[in-house]
Amino acid sequence: MHMADALISPAVGGTMWMAMAGVAAYASGKVKHDIDERKIPLMGVLGAFVFAAQMINFTIPGTGSSGHICGALLLAILLGPHAAFLTMISILSVQALFFADGGLLALGANIINMGFFGCYIGYPLIYKQLVGDDPSRGRLFFGAVAASVIGLQFGAFGVVMETFFSGITELPFTTFVLLMQPIHLAIGFFEGLITATVVLFILKESPEIIKKAAMNQPIGTIAIKRITVALLFGTLVTAGALSWFASANPDGLEWSVGQIIGEEELKAPEGIHNFFTEIQEKIVIMPDYNFKHDEQSSKDESADNSKPAWPAVDTGTSIAGILGSILTLGIVFSIGKGFQYLSKS
């Protein structure tokens, strides 16, 4: 559900950047009160894990579409909503800046759509209300699925509204919303299953982590070594190998756009959009999670109409996944250390 810059106007993009900055400032103020030495590495490893997990698109049966987890709800359950939102900012920024996944003008909108609704709608208003203070495994499972579905519905509708207010006439509101909401209903269900599976594993190994996150309290003396090692191992396996098995089908947003205009992407207008595109092209290190190709190689690939192999065993994809995970871990860890320093000063 990463929006490209072509889907958003400068006015709407700027507004969403300001909204994101406001929520980030609020989250930062809250995180300073519940950060501690043990929570920082957990934030970093979870950020890396979600980055890697987002690389795996799963097929939505019978649609020709695919989806991937957003991860905001998972992070909120394990870190609390405020630390989760800051972690999502790091994940989505790494994706846009270094891998050209989502536009820079649209980055604020992507963070709100994929981060805010999971952290501040799905988690406190759906998940916590359904799960309660002393959750059973069944209630936790149901709560994770329900909150994932509803959070992603808000995010998908956010995309529709942002394109509408941006004046993207190629995507009529009614048609677009009737495509976006059902396909993301299915994607949200699958995300809920994945989220519930991971959370149930954490609940079995260290239930105190979930309880502390629910009360926005520091982790304190809770042992997290086994959890962080397991998550780190899962991150490396996911980024380095499981990413080969990602569905080649367009994701829910691309699929919806394609159903309307016959192509998965709109052409970006001239002007400010070109400015952001040029900045992104200068910064990006591995566009589309692979090595940069020269112009001739791109033409050759476009001329090859053969069906791509599956699994797509590719060293470039593995390196991009591992590199992105390490970058995310480092950035989130640095943010945590910064807040820890500020809390002591």
**Tell me: the pLDDT tens digits for 112-127?**
999 999 999 999 999 9
- φ, ψ of residue 59 to 5 degrees: the values are -70, 135
pLDDT for position 311: 74
Task: Tell me the CA distances in angstroms from 102 to 92, 159, 255, one per residue in order.
Answer: 8, 13, 15
Amino acid at 123: Y
Q: What is the pLDDT of the chain when averaged over all its residues?
A: 91
For residue 81, whether the previous peptide bond is cis, meaning omega lies within 30 degrees of 0, is no
Give the architecture-level CATH label for domain 5-38+54-217+245-293.
Orthogonal Bundle (1.10)
pLDDT for position 298: 46
Q: For the residues 268-274, what does the mean pLDDT come to?
A: 87
The better pLDDT of the pair 309, 16 is held by 16
Residues 6+ apart with CB under 8 A from 306: none
Percent of the chain with pLDDT over 70: 94
DSSP for 150-182, please give it: HHHHHHHHHHHHHHHHTT-TTS-HHHHHHHHHH
CA angle 289, 90, 59 (to 5 degrees): 45
The better pLDDT of the pair 108, 215 is held by 108
